[in-house]
Amino acid sequence: MRDFIRFIIKYHFAILFLIIELVCLLLVFNYNAYQRSTFLSSSNALTGGIFKSYNAGAEYLMLREINEDLARENAYLRSRLPESFRASKDYFTLVYDSLSMQEYIYRSARVINNSTNKRFNYLTLNKGRLNGIEPEMGVISNKGAVGIVKNVSDNYSTVISIINTRLKISAKLKESGFFGSVEWDGSSYQYVYLLDIPRHAEVNVGDLVVTSGYSSIFPEGILLGNVENVELEKGASFYRIKVKLSVDFKNLSFVEIIGHSSVDEQIKLEKETEDD
């Protein structure tokens, strides 16, 4: 102890200098927006760059599966082409008018960071504000819904994934049309829970659970998963339905971000109604 004090006395000038200089630098970073943002963004650029190159490697290893997925999606999309429908002139007419304007716009992006083992899981995508991404947009993969965009920077965006206990998504049973909300309980990344389905609804194991389209974030009918098992506690009036997610969050590389072109209009109208 005495040595320690002697050391401090001997070097008090240098120690005091370091302390005061540290205080100064703290002031600089806390109260000067420019230095702070440079400091933060350089660290972000570093982490972003590391994630990106890590991902480039990981993606290469998963090429086979990605190819399969893309091929499957291609096949599905081909089946939706006009050529794959039989044109029956008797009752089918295509009218190009302004009423059938495009409602949802899709932009593809790559997942460059992803977590599944926390309570609050987020993804990072390689597109941001410059690519037209905005907060509150829905994110889906070719297998189903993934999450909702939380924050965007110029070139990156973060997404709250469905397996985040802070996120609730409005969903419904595809067969019967009963709707409720999907929540994650924080345990397994493969399962979420569908709540608020009344007990008189008919639910079978294997039923598809899709987005309801009420929230204006996702279009109606995006797949979430299928019913794994159905619980009904004694005296409860709502089911607690365990849903196996269709998206494998451990294996996610390409996603699509959904922009809703008339979202402002819908929210404005809903707010007006609430205020009345």
Partner 1 sequence: MISYLPRYLFNFVFFTLIQVLVLNNIQLSGYVNPYLYVLFIITLPFETPGWLLLLLGFTSGMVVDLFSNTPGMHASATVFVSFLRPYVLRLFAPREEYQPGTIPTMAYYGLGWFFRYAAILVLGHHLFLFFIEVFSLTHFFSTLLRALSSTVFTLLLIIVAQLFSQGKKQGR
- What number of other Cβ atoms are within 10 A of residue 122's Cβ? 17
Site size toward partner 1 (CB under 8 A) is 22
Shortest CB 136 distance to partner 1, Å: 34
By CB under 8 A, the residues from 192 to 211 that bind partner 1 are none
Q: Given the complex with partner 1, which of 21 and 103 has the nearer CB atom?
A: 21
Indicate the residue among 25 and 267 with the shorter CB distance to partner 1: 25
Residue-wise over 89-121: b if at least 16 C-beta within 10 A, else e?
A: eeeeeeeeeeeeeeeeeebebbbbbbebeeeeb
Residues numbered 8 to 47 that lie near partner 1 (CB under 8 A) are 12-14, 16-17, 20-21, 23-32, 34-35, 38-39, 42
Contact residues for 132 (Cβ-Cβ < 8 A; gap 6+): 107, 259
CB of 38 to partner 1, least distance (A): 5
Q: Which tokens hold the place of 45?
A: 């650029």
Contact 55, 112 (CB under 8 A): yes
| Token couple for 86 | 């039989």
* Residue 4 makes contact with partner 1 by CB under 8 A: no
In the complex, minimum distance from the CB of residue 11 to partner 1, in angstroms, rounded to a whole number = 10
Tell which positions 130-189 bind partner 1, by CB under 8 A.
none
Write down the least CB distance from residue 15 to partner 1, Å: 10
Checking 62-68 for CB contacts under 8 A at 24+ apart, the result is: 62/251, 62/253, 65/251, 66/253, 66/254
Q: Shortest gap between Cβ of 10 and partner 1 (angstroms)?
A: 12
- What residues line the site for partner 1 (CB under 8 A)? 12-14, 16-17, 20-21, 23-32, 34-35, 38-39, 42
